Amino acid sequence: QKEVEQNSGPLSVPEGAIASLNCTYSDRGSQSFFWYRQYSGKSPELIMSIYSNGDKEDGRFTAQLNKASQYVSLLIRDSQPSDSATYLCAVPGAAGNKLTFGGGTRVLVKP
Amino acid sequence: DAGVTQSPTHLIKTRGQQVTLRCSPISGHKSVSWYQQVLGQGPQFIFQYYEKEERGRGNFPDRFSARQFPNYSSELNVNALLLGDSALYLCASSFVVDTEAFFGQGTRLTVV
């Protein structure tokens, strides 16, 4: 079992709809979770951090964390073509000295 | 404020050569980490440095080495390059070791 797993996609979403991305992780001791957005040929950009169970909203993005079920999700509301990118879930190691990334979910927002 | 800066942005090397990649963290950040990303995969952890000391090493061969300088900038060295070392090399900066990490634009290394 991989440490951090994501569906590779592509997740095709009509413009204006909600895109829902999921990530599962294996380390029950993980305390913080990050979502990065990566456009093709570019580097990852941090878009959300979440540390506590429940929801965290930032603009059109909502991160949801359920530590008991070991999953973290990202919702993108009112999806725009500019949201078309690969979204990476990242979880720090126990010593906090590395991030373990999932393989990323590719999102395509169609006008 | 300047973000994380990496140099060079692109590099082409021949098998067997050596390469040095450079990274300057965000001002005030003391931790630098290096990642390798091959096409279609998430970044893979190579090294983390904090206050000039190595705090973590990923599953990479000894051909990979790094260091951090007193000004917190960092270098990643790769010796005896292989074709499989072709990848995007990413530097990430964070205030301390387990806080949010911000990436530079990356160095695209091509080994021919």
- Chain A partners of B103 at a C-beta cutoff of 8 Å? 36, 43-46
Q: What pLDDT, in 10s, does the model give residues A12-54?
A: 999 999 999 999 999 888 889 999 999 999 999 999 999 999 9
What is the per-residue pLDDT for A29? 86
Q: What pLDDT, in 10s, does the model give residues A60-105?
A: 999 999 999 999 999 999 999 999 999 999 999 877 778 999 999 9
Q: Which residues pair with B21 in a beta bridge?
A: B76
Q: For residue B48, give the nearest of A32, A34, A97 by CB distance.
A: A97
B45 contacts A46? CB cut-off 8 A: no
- Chain A partners of B35 at a C-beta cutoff of 8 Å? 99
Percentage of chain B lying above the pLDDT 70 cut? 99
CA distance B98 to B79: 29
Q: Closest chain B residue to A89 measured between Cα atoms?
A: B42
CA distance B28 to B71: 10
What is the per-residue pLDDT for A97? 74
Q: With b meaning 16 or more CB within 10 Å and e meaning fewer, what string describes B28-44? A: ebbbbbbbbbeeeebbb
Return mean pLDDT, chain B: 95
As a residue count, chain B comes to 112
Average pLDDT of A55-61? 97
CA distance B27 to B3: 8
Q: Minimal Cα–Cα distance from A18 to chain B, Å?
A: 24
Burial of A104 (0-12, 13-18, 19+ CB in 10 A): buried
What is the per-residue pLDDT for A94? 74
Specify whether the CB–CB gap between A2 and A89 falls below 8 A: no
Q: Closest chain B residue to A94 measured between Cα atoms?
A: B98
What is the per-residue pLDDT for A95? 73
A95 contacts B56? CB cut-off 8 A: yes
Q: For residue B45, give the nearest of A43, A96, A98 by CB distance.
A: A98
B45 contacts A88? CB cut-off 8 A: no
Q: For residue A102, give the nearest of B42, B50, B100 by CB distance.
A: B42
What is the per-residue pLDDT for A1? 65
Structure tokens at A66: 């359920």
- Chain A residues within 8 Å of chain B (Cβ atoms): 4, 32, 34, 36, 42-46, 49, 88, 90, 92-93, 95-104
Residues in chain B, pLDDT under 50:
none
What is the per-residue pLDDT for A23? 97
Q: What pLDDT, in 10s, does the model give residues B18-43?
A: 999 999 999 999 999 999 999 999 99
